[in-house]
Chains A and B, each alone.
Chain A
């Protein structure tokens, strides 16, 4: 019974923790601008993250070491360095976006200017990273993130013509008012949001922090195979809300407040309160994950002690990197950058760096020296993973040119 409860809790945490600032913005922006014509990208993206998150969880459970720890050892110092620098920069942008997202959610509930809230959020994020046990931290914010299910309630309350909605989702096309380049650019943004690299760093490092072993491989599969698709369904509900409420009014999503507007309009005050709690939890949880990921990436590459298993004194340099990353992200947020733009660029640049994250996972998951003879990838999984790797490379090559051609999707 205790085991079942643990698995259920893990799945719920995976659903609630799936959505972050990038998913909120990307899904609402594409729903408002492209209706459901890019919903297929969410589905493609979630299958990709399922394939690679399962692999990275398996690597961590069998080796007792996270993927990034093995990258330098298996692929060399230069590749590891390029990987570390790219991942750290994108992670930094994502952390800025998440901290700004938390501040915006509090601002929407309190009317206090979000610039005053950013430093408070930064201190709170650091305190939680410093003091709260890993599993408690993961579960509290993951479960609170389930408040975002109110988007699904909003879709139901709006009462769309379900046949039309499903048909629009199943028959995607480039809308007449858009060109193929902006369609591809927003598709890449959605793909980047679904397959954000920090999710994998955090997932595999978290598996080590949680002390996963071979016995936990089943739980790893269940979390990924059930939790992530349900998290993706939540992303689609956000997109559907924007499609049903914002698109007919020609509203372009440029503020986080607009993401919550369909819920207020359809569900009322209670719905609005719940969605703001959900946004707070999702962005705060992601701020914790990206803060820790900054420390994981640097400490694991440089071979420093890392993690929250021991006391901070045992991993001082790891905690210094976490602290400095939070401080730098908060300062960047305070310069007046547009948080939604930071989010958009972080997910698009994530897409450009995806092969750097996922290629090493595929290599290590096929290496019997790390995985043992019985737990390397099978042929079927390798075939799917290779197809995804090709997609990732194409996406990575196309990202920067598309960003220039579409002037950042404008």
Chain B
């Protein structure tokens, strides 16, 4: 049983249902934290690459990984059924933040793959606002 559990647990982002608002809020928090991590990682990658401190393949692969990770997080969150109207509001709020972050991370990935590493920090600049918004969202849940 331990073997089966261990092997099945090695897949990406397992998500369970949210039966109460508290449960949904907890999942929203985890989602926002994961998204914030991806946003901050891409920002740091963009700054590092723009300063000439990281080479192209590393930057491309790392940004793509974060984009995939963010897409998984968004997909998982979208699959959770909000239990009540209050949860609907929370979902709408976080969806908007995730959507903005996803667009901006995609823009950084496109620029990185085109080889424009020198100006990558400029392309990644809108991610600072995404990061602030996600931090504010997390604060509001405390």
Query: Hey, which bits of chain A sit against chain B, CB under 8 A?
Result: 89, 93, 107-111, 245, 249-252, 254-255, 257-258, 260-261, 264-265, 267-269, 272-273, 276, 336-338, 341-342, 345, 349, 352, 400, 408, 410
Q: B100 at interface (Cβ–Cβ under 8 A)?
A: no
Q: Are B2 and A349 in contact (CB under 8 A)?
A: yes
The residues in B between 25 and 75 inclusive whose CB is less than 8 angstroms from any CB of A are 30, 33-34, 36-37, 40-41, 43-45, 47-48, 51-58, 60-62, 65-66, 69
Residues of B within 8 A of A408 (CB): 9
Q: B141 at interface (Cβ–Cβ under 8 A)?
A: no
Task: List 24 A-B pairs, Cβ < 8 Å.
Answer: A89-B3, A108-B62, A109-B57, A110-B57, A111-B60, A250-B37, A250-B40, A251-B44, A252-B33, A252-B34, A255-B65, A255-B69, A261-B48, A261-B62, A267-B53, A268-B51, A268-B52, A273-B55, A336-B11, A336-B12, A341-B10, A341-B11, A341-B12, A352-B2
- Known A-B contacts A108-B61, A264-B48, A341-B11; the reply to A251 vs B37 at CB < 8 A is yes
A405 to B3, CA, bound (A): 18
State how many angstroms separate the Cβ of A252 from the closest Cβ of chain B.
4
Residues of B within 8 A of A111 (CB): 56-57, 60-61
A342 to B10, CA, bound (A): 5
State how many angstroms separate the Cβ of B3 from the closest Cβ of chain A.
6
Q: Are A268 and B65 in contact (CB under 8 A)?
A: no
Tally of chain B residues near chain A (CB < 8 A)? 35
State how many angstroms separate the Cβ of A376 from the closest Cβ of chain B.
35
Q: Are A257 and B62 in contact (CB under 8 A)?
A: yes
Q: B6 at interface (Cβ–Cβ under 8 A)?
A: yes
Residues of A within 8 A of B44 (CB): 245, 249, 251, 261, 265
Residues of A within 8 A of B51 (CB): 268
A285 to B88, CA, bound (A): 51
